[in-house]
């Protein structure tokens, strides 16, 4: 095996180790969030009290990348559970931003733990796609390295 192949394999190994460590860290964070949001089994119609759309910078992984922005809609809302009115605020759906109501998810044991259904779905969606993309890239590099070592490239 030539020196270039060894360097390629070493770089891929480092990338794989960092990807695994990052994946473990993110999985632990998502598990804690998932447990929190899984308790939000209650649903109520929330009346939107105020709405504010802001332009926020999106974090990118590279310093030389052009700055990217997204518009985020923050809402303040109130909803009723068992005759008691609760208030909350957080990220709401931009689509239909003029709607007067949004579905609110809440913990039946503590309705003060609540969020919009939009945010709930955002926090509980699967992150499997990014993991599959990372694994695909690593697999492609390994196949390339193997083929190069066999003289097929």
Cα 134 from Cα 140, distance rounded (Å):
10
How many domains does the chain fold into?
1
pLDDT of 81 = 97
> Mean pLDDT of successive 10-residue segments in the chain (153 residues)?
77 82 78 83 95 85 76 93 96 76 95 91 68 75 77 75
User: What angle in degrees, to the nearest 10, is found between the helix axes of 128-149 and 3-38?
Assistant: 170
Nearest residue to 149 (alpha-carbon basis) of 45, 46, 141: 141
DSSP state of 89: E
pLDDT of 127 = 58
pLDDT of 93 = 82
**What is the extent of the structural domain holding 34?**
3-149
pLDDT of 145 = 75
pLDDT of 83 = 97
Cα 153 from Cα 150, distance rounded (Å):
8
């Amino acid at each position: 095996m030539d020196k270039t192949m060894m360097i390629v394999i070493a770089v891929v190994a480092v990338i794989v180790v960092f990807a695994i460590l990052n994946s473990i860290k993110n999985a632990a964070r998502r598990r804690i969030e998932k447990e929190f949001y899984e308790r939000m089994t209650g649903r109520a119609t929330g009346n939107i009290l105020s709405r504010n759309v802001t332009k926020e910078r999106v974090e990118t992984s590279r310093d030389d990348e052009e700055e990217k922005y997204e518009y985020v809609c923050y809402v303040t809302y109130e909803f009723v559970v068992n005759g008691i009115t609760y208030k909350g605020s957080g990220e709401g759906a931009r689509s239909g931003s003029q709607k007067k109501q949004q579905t609110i998810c809440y913990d039946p044991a503590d309705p003060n733990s609540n969020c919009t259904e939009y945010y709930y779905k955002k926090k509980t969606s699967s992150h499997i796609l990014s993991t599959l993309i990372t694994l695909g890239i690593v697999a492609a590099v390994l196949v390339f390295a193997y083929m190069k070592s066999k003289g097929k490239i």
